[in-house]
Amino acid sequence: MAYNFSPPEIIKQCSMTLKWPDILKLAKDGNPAPDHKVEKSDAEWRQQLSPEEYRVTRRAGTERAFSSQMCSLFEPGIYACLCCDTILFDANEKFESGTGWPSFTQPIETNVIAYHFDGPAFLQRVETVCNTCDAHLGHVFPDGPAPSGLRYCMNAVALKKTGANSAAHGKNA
């Protein structure tokens, strides 16, 4: 399967483990192209989503820490974007971060997440959004476990878990 990555020198295949310098370069220079885009009007998103889902995913909100049972769920499965069903994370990449939000070490594919600098430049805080529909998911930080050292700190309300293992699935549900 061919991917149209930008910049191509960062990510050459979907099995590559992303590290913090890769994330910073993507946030600065551009994100990989998604397989397709989902675009809806604000009215359509408001109709589809609950007020809290809308606030978090469409207005870059943050849910209250420890407000979801998803933090303590570690069964096999996949996590998809609540807004567009794009598969984002495999439960095998999930870990207990103690932060109060579900945390993962890597996305399931390199082109399912887009990265944008968020906040003061000295913080180098990086927002994560669904690369298919631009839903705000959370942030990625360089304080996760090996081998990536990444912690994708996600809003549980922006995700939906499915029971199937990702190894048998494509990117989209």
- The residues annotated with a catalytic role in the active site are 153
Which residues share a beta bridge with 95? 103
Helix (H, G, I), strand (E, B) or coil at 134: coil
Q: Kindly give the residue spans of alpha helices, DSSP state H, lying in 30-159.
A: 42-48, 51-59
Give SS3 for 87.
strand
| DSSP H or E run through 20 | helix 20-29
Nearest of 98, 108, 99, 97 to residue 159 by alpha carbon: 108
Which helix (H) or strand (E) element contains residue 103?
Answer: strand 103-104
